[in-house]
Amino acid sequence: MRQPDRDCRTTVVMAPHVIALIARLNTGMRSIGMIRARSESASATRELRALKDTLTTRQKLLTTEPTRPMDEQSRDMMLRDIVCPFCSLCCDDLTARHNGRHLEVADNGCAQAARGFAIEGPGEGLHHAQISGTPCTPEEAISHAAILLGNAQQPLFGGLGTDVAGARALLRLADHCGATFDHMNSSAMLRNLLVVQDSGWMTTTLTEVRNRADVLLVFGAGIEQHMPRFYQRIFNGDESMFAEHPPARELVLIGNFTAAPPVDASIRTTLIPCSTTGLGDIAMGMRALLNGATLQAETIAGVSRERLQTCVERLQAARYGVVAWTAAELDFPHAELAVQAFCELARSLNATTRCSGLPLGGNNADHTFAQVATWQTGYPTRTSLAGARPEYDPVKYNGERMLRDNEADALLWVSAFDNRRTPPHTDIPTIVLGPPGMQPGRTFDVFLPVATPGLDHAGHVFRCDTVAILPLRGLRQAEHPAVSDTVNALLKRL
Ligand code: SF4
């Protein structure tokens, strides 16, 4: 359940076509849609102007010729307002230089984006279709892959890094083959999903954080590693759509960090060092203090009780507090209990003020696959389509465990965004759909090069808060088919 926008009291007059546009664009800016149409105050006019600017930008993104890639005559062009697909922050302000096949981030990127855009350099690795290491035509490779999948009794689909169209095609193929599917990032995703399934959560959106949050409490030190531009884009000192003067912001970091994040100098920052495995204990201790309990311990996970009490008081005094974490960083047994503690802390704060959770992180379109799988099958990942109905089991259908225990007899691995994400070592027949340049250090039974969404062809991916789906553009002439095209061709041969 997402938290209602209780403080949104300012109201504006909106024409019906603007309201309809909001609904149609589905930008995820929930707060905009919740502005009630009554008052004509000066601030309302400002908000309406900001709203129109946002909608215009969104509309430009959605209508900017997304499907027509650049041809060879478009060399040395600067491409602007590009959506980056290389982490789930999905920054939509990148500028790239296009020169033949070569793409280079020219502005507003990060090291992760720079590597992603340069993914298809010439050189070592796999660049052409192969059967057992021998070059072949794509048609021959697809025919051979169809034979391998057709002979399998318990195929496993892994990796699954692709856009919405690729995910839909893969689920159709999985349904046809009776396959089990498990995204390469499932272990991290499930730390959040298990909490949603068990007790629910109250979360907010990136837009709300950017425009309204005044206190951001971060459990862990991994945001920059997983989303390098998070602080720059979402939590800085000078941007707010709904206020002339943004709220004074404060950042509280609890985790195993080595340096303060690069935040705006106007943001008051407090660093509280502790081990990653102690984060759940600290959140539970803070909740106990919030609820008026008396803690016997002087310290929790190395942090003094007084220090935690100060944090609790700061969150209680906030107008819009946010508790954030990155599930991929919580790589220890039963880390979902730590996530649950973060969520319960945020929930308890709502007794007297407003506070929401903010799960961050994600790459290789893990949120995208989970969304598509959920609307197609009812489950986000680790699901078998072998029976009469989808069967979800996060332990039984753990792909790595299935391979280890010989419970799969063919593996289809898809990684369209990252040629470093290769399949686990296995002796069973392995079919790989990957971007050119993959260097697995071994041969696959079938390798099929595929295009990268957002570089070679248009597509869609979900942002980490899953309220916005971002349109990707084709930036250059694709040399290989999209995952969806390859999978559909495979399905036709079965
Ligand atoms: S932070 Fe993520 S989405 Fe933004 S430019 Fe870097 S890799 Fe791309």
Tokens (6 digits) for 458? 């248009």
Is residue 2 one of the residues assigned to a domain?
A: no
CA gap 178, 157 in Å, rounded = 10
Confidence of residue 63 (pLDDT cuts 50, 70, 90): very low
Please report the pLDDT score of residue 260 as a whole number. Answer: 82
CA gap 467, 15 in Å, rounded = 24
State which of 102-106, 260-264, 353-357 shows the largest mean pLDDT.
353-357
Q: Are 217 and 324 in contact (CB under 8 A)?
A: yes
Region 357-384: what's the mean pLDDT? 97
Confidence of residue 288 (pLDDT cuts 50, 70, 90): very high
Please report the pLDDT score of residue 320 as a whole number. Answer: 95
Q: Is 112 in the pocket of ligand 1 (CB under 6 A)?
A: yes
Say how many Å lie between the CA of residue 95 and the centre of ligand 1: 12
Which DSSP state fits 468? -
Give how many domains the chain has, as a whole number: 4
Take atom 5 of ligand 1 and give the residue whose Cα is closest.
109
Range of the domain at 290: 190-360
Tokens (6 digits) for 20? 């309809």
Say how many Å lie between the CA of residue 383 and the centre of ligand 1: 30
Q: Residue 229, SS3?
A: coil
47 pLDDT exceeds 70? no
Is residue 8 one of the residues assigned to a domain?
A: no
The last residue of a domain, from among 330, 345, 360: 360
Kindly give the number of the ligand 1 atom that is closest to the alpha carbon of 108. 5
Question: Quick one: 163 and 203 in the same domain?
Answer: no
Pick 11 or 255 by higher pLDDT.
Answer: 255
Instruction: Report the percentage of the chain scoring pLDDT > 70.
Output: 82
Please report the pLDDT score of residue 34 as a whole number. Answer: 34
Q: Are 94 and 472 in contact (CB under 8 A)?
A: no
Q: Is 438 in the pocket of ligand 1 (CB under 6 A)?
A: no
46 pLDDT exceeds 60? no
Is residue 124 one of the residues assigned to a domain?
A: no
Please report the pLDDT score of residue 28 as a whole number. Answer: 34
CATH code of residue 174: 3.40.50.740
Tokens (6 digits) for 33? 């849609």
Q: Are 410 and 432 in contact (CB under 8 A)?
A: no
Q: Is 139 exposed, middle or buried (0-12, 13-18, 19+ CB in 10 A)?
A: exposed
Say how many Å lie between the CA of residue 330 and the centre of ligand 1: 21
Tokens (6 digits) for 149? 């999948």
Q: Is 229 in the pocket of ligand 1 (CB under 6 A)?
A: yes
Say how many Å lie between the CA of residue 394 and the centre of ligand 1: 29
Question: Quick one: 238 and 163 in the same domain?
Answer: no
Q: Is 227 in the pocket of ligand 1 (CB under 6 A)?
A: yes
Query: Of the residues 82, 88, 105, 227, which should be mutated to test ligand 1's pocket, given the most ligand atoms within 8 Å of the CB?
Result: 227
If one counts every other C-beta atom within 10 angstroms of the C-beta of residue 247, the result is 17
Kindly give the number of the ligand 1 atom that is closest to the alpha carbon of 116. 7
Query: Of the residues 105, 107, 115, 229, which should be mutated to test ligand 1's pocket, given the most ligand atoms within 8 Å of the CB?
Result: 229
According to the 3-state scheme, what is the secondary structure of 82-102? ECCCCCCCCCCCEEEEEECCE
Q: Are 126 and 439 in contact (CB under 8 A)?
A: yes
Instruction: State pLDDT tens for residues 244-281.
Output: 667 789 999 999 988 888 888 889 999 999 999 999 99
Q: Are 126 and 438 in contact (CB under 8 A)?
A: yes
Q: What is the mean pLDDT of the chain?
A: 86
Please report the pLDDT score of residue 121 as a whole number. Answer: 58
Residue 260's contacts (CB-CB under 8 Å, 6 or more residues apart) are 253, 269, 271
- Residue 396 CA: distances (Å) to CA of 43, 159, 271, 333, 399: 55, 17, 40, 17, 9
Please report the pLDDT score of residue 261 as a whole number. Answer: 86
Q: Is 278 in the pocket of ligand 1 (CB under 6 A)?
A: no
CA gap 455, 119 in Å, rounded = 10
Confidence of residue 39 (pLDDT cuts 50, 70, 90): very low
Kindly give the number of the ligand 1 atom that is closest to the alpha carbon of 228. 1
**To which H or E segment does residue 404 belong?**
helix 399-404
Q: Are 201 and 195 in contact (CB under 8 A)?
A: yes
Instruction: Supply the DSSP string of 167-201, one letter for each residue.
Output: HHHHHHHHHHHT-EEEETTHHHHHHHHHHHHHT--
Question: Quick one: 24 and 94 in the same domain?
Answer: no
Question: Quick one: 45 and 107 in the same domain?
Answer: no
Q: Residue 210, SS3?
A: helix
Kindly give the number of the ligand 1 atom that is closest to the alpha carbon of 89. 3
Pick 42 or 283 by higher pLDDT.
Answer: 283
Question: Quick one: 328 and 201 in the same domain?
Answer: yes
Region 172-192: what's the mean pLDDT? 98
Say how many Å lie between the CA of residue 80 and the centre of ligand 1: 15
If one counts every other C-beta atom within 10 angstroms of the C-beta of residue 24, the result is 12
Region of poorest pLDDT, from 239-243, 348-352, 387-391:
239-243
H-only helix segments in 319-361? 336-349
Is residue 269 one of the residues assigned to a domain?
A: yes
Confidence of residue 480 (pLDDT cuts 50, 70, 90): very high
Region of poorest pLDDT, from 41-50, 103-112, 137-146, 481-490:
41-50
Is residue 319 one of the residues assigned to a domain?
A: yes
Say how many Å lie between the CA of residue 361 and the centre of ligand 1: 11
Region 150-154: what's the mean pLDDT? 97
Q: Is 113 in the pocket of ligand 1 (CB under 6 A)?
A: yes
Question: Quick one: 137 and 231 in the same domain?
Answer: no
CATH code of residue 280: 3.40.228.10
Query: Of the residues 83, 84, 90, which should be mutated to test ligand 1's pocket, given the most ligand atoms within 8 Å of the CB?
Result: 84
Q: Is 279 in the pocket of ligand 1 (CB under 6 A)?
A: no
Tokens (6 digits) for 318? 């906030």
Question: Quick one: 326 and 196 in the same domain?
Answer: yes
Question: Quick one: 355 and 370 in the same domain?
Answer: no
CA gap 494, 488 in Å, rounded = 10
The model carries a pTM of 0.84
Confidence of residue 122 (pLDDT cuts 50, 70, 90): low
Q: Is 223 in the pocket of ligand 1 (CB under 6 A)?
A: no
Give Dmax over CA atoms of the chain in angstroms.
Answer: 72
Query: Of the residues 81, 82, 83, 86, which should be mutated to test ligand 1's pocket, given the most ligand atoms within 8 Å of the CB?
Result: 86
Please state the separation of Cα 325 from the chain's center in Å.
Answer: 13
CA gap 211, 241 in Å, rounded = 6
- Residue 371 CA: distances (Å) to CA of 61, 62, 146, 189, 341: 22, 20, 27, 12, 24
Residue 389's contacts (CB-CB under 8 Å, 6 or more residues apart) are none
Please report the pLDDT score of residue 431 as a whole number. Answer: 98
458 pLDDT exceeds 80? yes
The last residue of a domain, from among 344, 360, 376: 360
Say how many Å lie between the CA of residue 365 and the centre of ligand 1: 13
Query: Of the residues 83, 87, 464, which should be mutated to test ligand 1's pocket, given the most ligand atoms within 8 Å of the CB?
Result: 87
Take atom 4 of ligand 1 and give the residue whose Cα is closest.
91
Please report the pLDDT score of residue 24 as a whole number. Answer: 38
The last residue of a domain, from among 327, 344, 360: 360
Is residue 464 one of the residues assigned to a domain?
A: yes
CA gap 115, 274 in Å, rounded = 32
Question: Quick one: 342 and 307 in the same domain?
Answer: yes
Region of poorest pLDDT, from 7-21, 71-85, 167-181, 413-427:
7-21
Say how many Å lie between the CA of residue 107 and the centre of ligand 1: 12
Is residue 228 one of the residues assigned to a domain?
A: yes
Strand partners of residue 383: 181, 392
Confidence of residue 162 (pLDDT cuts 50, 70, 90): very high
CA gap 305, 358 in Å, rounded = 25
Region of poorest pLDDT, from 62-76, 196-210, 335-349, 421-435:
62-76
Question: Quick one: 451 and 489 in the same domain?
Answer: yes
Region of poorest pLDDT, from 54-63, 92-101, 112-121:
54-63
Region of poorest pLDDT, from 63-72, 291-300, 302-311:
63-72
Q: Is 435 in the pocket of ligand 1 (CB under 6 A)?
A: no
Please report the pLDDT score of residue 130 as a whole number. Answer: 97
Say how many Å lie between the CA of residue 109 and the centre of ligand 1: 6
